[in-house]
Amino acid sequence: MLISLTSFDLSIAAVLVLLLAFLSWRMQLNIAGKLLVAAVRTTVQLLLIGLVLKSLFSNVNILWVIGISTVMISVAGWEILSRQHRKLKGWWGFGISTGSLFVSSFLVTLLALATIIQADPWYHPQYAVPLLGMLLGNTMTGIALGMDRLLQTSWQQRAIIEQRLMLGESSMQAISDIRKEAMRAGMIPIINSMAAAGLVSLPGMMTGQILAGAPPVEAVKYQILIMFLISAGTGFGVISVLWLISHRLFDERHRLRFEKLLKIPS
- Which has more confidence, 86 or 58? 58
Output DSSP code: residue 201: B
Instruction: Answer whether residue 89 shows pLDDT above 90.
Output: no
| Mean pLDDT calculated for residue range 46-58 | 87
Q: What is the pLDDT of residues 3-48, one digit of tens each?
A: 778 889 899 999 999 999 999 999 988 899 999 999 999 999 999 9
The answer to whether residues 103 and 243 touch, using CB atoms and an 8 Å cutoff, is no
Q: What is the pLDDT of residues 194-219, one digit of tens each?
A: 888 877 777 777 888 887 778 888 88
The pLDDT, as a whole number, for residue 232 is 92
Q: What is the pLDDT of residues 114-160, one digit of tens each?
A: 999 888 888 988 889 989 998 998 899 999 999 999 988 988 888 99
Instruction: Answer whether residue 264 shows pLDDT above 80.
Output: no
**Which residue, among 189, 97, 107, 196, has the nearest Cα to 147 in the 3D structure?**
97
The answer to whether residues 233 and 104 touch, using CB atoms and an 8 Å cutoff, is yes
Instruction: Answer whether residue 266 shows pLDDT above 80.
Output: no
Residues 6+ apart with CB under 8 A from 201: 193
The pLDDT, as a whole number, for residue 247 is 84
DSSP one-letter string for 73-111: HHHHHHHHHHT-SSEESTTHHHHHHHHHHIIIIIHHHHH
For 208-228, b where at least 16 C-beta lie within 10 A, e where not — what string? Answer: ebbeeeeeeeebbebbeebbe
pTM over 0.85: no
Instruction: Give domain limits for the chain.
Output: 1-59, 62-263
**Which residue, among 57, 24, 26, has the nearest Cα to 38 in the 3D structure?**
24
